[in-house]
Amino acid sequence: MKATGYDGLSSRAVAEPELREFLSRCFEIAEHELASAVFYTHGEVSGHFAMSFSVGIEGRLAERVGRHEFARRFAAHFDAFVLYGDTEPPGQWTVVLPDGSSLLAAMEEGEDHYELYAASAPIPGLLDLRPL
């Protein structure tokens, strides 16, 4: 079965047990299926984000939960803002806020360091962003 992946950044670091539980609930699968239907990695980053994540899933699960819906659920569940890329203009990313709203943003990135510098709408807690 075809697989796909959801990569992103979260403003909140999530412990592995919490992440496993979320993935199981999000994709409506038993936790033991995580090893076969869902593969994930995550790591610590700095800047405006605390964690990077990469979630590989079987195609049937992508039909249940698309990329934007996954980011929306993650942001709401963990009370975080989540950045991901899909079909945005070059140099821009989608940011989903905990309330489910989304906006476009631009960022500078270095080795595991991610700083937003512009956004199409305000992001709570990030006061120095210029308009996009």
Given this model, what pLDDT does residue 35 score?
Answer: 82
The mean pLDDT value of the chain amounts to 93
Query: Per residue in 10-20, pLDDT tens?
Result: 999 999 999 99
pTM over the 0.95 mark: no
CA triple 19-87-126, angle to 5 deg: 60
Given this model, what pLDDT does residue 2 score?
Answer: 62
CB neighbours of 58 closer than 8 A, spacing ≥ 6?
1, 2, 3, 37, 38
Strand 102-110 and strand 93-96: the pairing is antiparallel
The structure tokens 């659920």 sit at 73
Average pLDDT over residues 104-126: 95
Given this model, what pLDDT does residue 34 score?
Answer: 84
Are 45 and 52 contacting, i.e. CB atoms less than 8 angstroms apart?
A: yes
Retrieve residue 74's tokens.
């993650």
Are 75 and 81 contacting, i.e. CB atoms less than 8 angstroms apart?
A: yes
Given this model, what pLDDT does residue 31 score?
Answer: 85
- CB neighbourhood size of 58 (10 A): 18
Average pLDDT over residues 56-76: 92
The confidence band for 62, taking pLDDT boundaries of 50, 70 and 90, is confident
Query: Per residue in 29-61, pLDDT tens?
Result: 998 888 888 989 999 999 999 999 999 998 888
DSSP-assigned beta bridge partners for residue 52: 9, 43
Which amino acid is residue 67, in one-letter code? R
Given this model, what pLDDT does residue 33 score?
Answer: 84
Given this model, what pLDDT does residue 63 score?
Answer: 87
